[in-house]
Amino acid sequence: METLPYLLLAFFLLVVVSALELQQISKLHSPACFSSGYLANGNFEEQPKQSNIHKTVLKGRYALPKWVINGSVEYISGGPQPGGMYFAVAHGVHAVRLGNEASISQYIHVKPGSLYALTFGASRTCAQEEVLRVSAGPQSGDLPLQTLYSSDGGDTYAFGFRANSAISKVTFHNPGVQEDPACGPLLDAVAIKELFPPRPTRDNLVKNPSFEEGPHRLVNSTNGVLLPPRQEDQTSPLPGWIIESLKAVKFIDAKHFNVPHGFAAVELVAGRESAIAQILRTIPNKVYSLTFDVGDARNGCHGMMTVEAFAAKETLKVPFNSRGKGEYKTASFKFKAVSARTRVTFYSSYYHTRIDDFGSLCGPVVDQVRVVSLA
């Protein structure tokens, strides 16, 4: 009987927490608000109340407006930090840093069955193997942050998920236990975009051949969007394509880069560790033609580049001497399908860095992929 008051207290706390969670869900915006753009307070510029923060540490589960906090989360202003550190906040003024086992989450309205991509600015804050775990709807994945793709701290990533209900919970979590508990991933912007899965056509078996359908581009980001490794085609933030490599590839847009065709392309920024692929429906023993463009993004990536393409049993190496002027060339070869499914793969043979910034990875651009039957 002595344990009865404690059980009642635990039950009461559970009810209160559940009620607060439901209250947050009830305050969600309409589904149209999240077709493309920032999540509520997605750039973290709506500041916490002074009573909810001590120095940089947020106090209370709901201290960060529009988000739910779990564990030690810091509210950071970009620039020099106490202790001699410097945090680059590339997409605004403020960001959050997730301590050991800490997380932030938010509920959003989505369309069941639809494909979405989260776009977010993320970087490590210490020279340690930091990981950011991203969860949205039924999908979850660990994003390794030890590789810095740009030297200015402006790395932007995308994470794809398919909604299985009308409300999805988006969570960013630091799952690791660092040697220094003050270390942890920095998150400085979160946006979302609904994606529309493309279809092959009579004139082209490739889905999303020019990479026009892709994740949201943050308006104040000039570094492109990194697509994390090992993304399956059903939930890829680049619809139709698989990111099957150990490192990310970069989704670039015509506003900030040179792309051969249309508004977007893919830059292979990590050599053989950076590859994209697509599985096509083919007819065994039928001959097909594969055509694609190779160029540079006019982003300071100079030198001899090589893109290797694979289809069925055929391989083609396409050399391209980049002068950094946004030039490109078209390559093509024939292949005979050996089954009803043919995997088409592209990767870069070499690693490259920008000539004006050796800390920023770059590489050849691939665009306008086309596969047609020759018989």
Domains and CATH numbers, the chain: 16-195 (2.60.120.260), 225-373 (2.60.120.260)
Tokens, residue 46: 């709506």
Q: Which residues of the chain, if any, have pLDDT below 50?
A: 1-2, 4-33
Per DSSP bridges, beta strands 156-162 and 167-173 are unpaired
Q: What is the pLDDT of residue 7?
A: 46
Q: What is the pLDDT of residue 262?
A: 92
At 295-310, the pLDDT tens digits run 999 999 999 999 999 9
Q: What is the pLDDT of residue 84?
A: 66
Q: pTM score, two decimals?
A: 0.87
Alpha helices in the chain (DSSP H): 4-26
Place of tokens 């005979």: 336
Reported in sequence order, the residue ranges of 246-364 that DSSP labels E, i.e. its strands, are 249-253, 264-267, 275-281, 287-295, 303-311, 314-322, 328-336, 341-348, 352-354, 357-362
Exposed / middle / buried, residue 158 (Cβ in 10 Å: 0-12, 13-18, 19+)? buried
